[in-house]
Structure 1
Amino acid sequence: MFSHMVVGSNDLAKSKTFYDSLFAATGGEAGKTDAMGRLVYAQRGSRFVITKPINGDKATAGNGGTIGFAMDSPGEVKAWHEAGVTHGGTSVENPPGERQTPMGRIYLAYLRDPDGNKLCARYKFAD
């Protein structure tokens, strides 16, 4: 459904360290800086972009918003979460683990990035 997601950052170098670790933990490549100075990640047919706000205002995290990343296994979720915490992220919500939901069994982990954006890694079991 989604082609790309964009979040704002006040410190692109700090964001690069954080997001490079998340994508590396799941087999992705380091982010590339595009011609507009944005940090771009491409993986599994989607793009994730980090940028300083175009209007020049300070970047702030969206209240109530979460960006979810699809994972291929519970181990990949764990590696993603561990990499994020190690590189400037903050673990939020419940600890990473399996949950029973109306969608079936899933394995989740939540982080806030260094700018406060809420992220989720999710693996859905094929029950």
Structure 2
Amino acid sequence: MYSHMMVGSNDVERSKKFYDALFVATGGEPGVVDPKGRLMYLKDGAVFLVTPPINGEPATHGNGCTIGFAVTGPEQADAWHEAGIAAGGKAIEDPPGVRSGGGMNMYLAYLRDPDGNKLCALHRLPADA
């Protein structure tokens, strides 16, 4: 359904440090800055970009928006969370752990990136976990 996800940043260099840490913690590669100054990550067939806003206005985070990153298990979610905090992110919501609802069990970890965007690492668990 989705082709890519893009967030705005007021400091692409700071964002590169933060997102490089997240992607490397989950087996990805550091991002590449393209000729337009956008930061690009490719992983598992998906594209994630960070950009200064095209309209020249300051980047702001979307209230009510969450960007979810699929991870392979609780250990990878924890590594993602720890790497994000060490690289300037902020832990939010409850600590990383299992959440149940709607007949599903998920292991979730939440962060805000340095520009305030809300991020989530998610691993779906078997229903009986």
* TM band (smaller chain): over 0.9
Q: Match of 2:88?
A: 88
Instruction: Give % identity.
Output: 57
Q: Match of 2:24?
A: 24
- After TM superposition, the structure 1 = structure 2 runs for residues 1-127 of structure 1, keeping only pairs within 5 Å, are 1-127=1-127
Q: State the distance in 1 between where 2:27 and 2:53 align.
A: 28
Q: How many residues align?
A: 127
1:35 shift after superposition: 2.2
Q: State the distance in 2 between where 1:26 and 1:45 align.
A: 14
Q: State the distance in 2 between where 1:80 and 1:98 align.
A: 15
Q: TM-score, normalised by structure 1?
A: 0.97
1:103 shift after superposition: 4.6
1:126 shift after superposition: 2.9
Q: State the distance in 1 between where 2:125 and 2:66 align.
A: 21
Q: Secondary structure at the match of 1:14?
A: helix
Q: Secondary structure at the match of 1:6?
A: strand
In structure 2, stretches of 5+ residues that fail to align are none
Q: State the distance in 1 between where 2:122 and 2:10 align.
A: 27
Q: CA RMSD in A?
A: 0.8
**Deviation string, structure 1 residues 17-56 (Cα, Å, up to 9, x no partner):** 0000000000000000112110000001100000000000
More strand by share: 1
1:72 shift after superposition: 0.7
Q: TM-score, normalised by structure 2?
A: 0.96
Runs of 4+ aligned structure 1 residues displaced above 6 Å come to: none
Q: State the distance in 2 between where 1:28 and 1:59 align.
A: 25
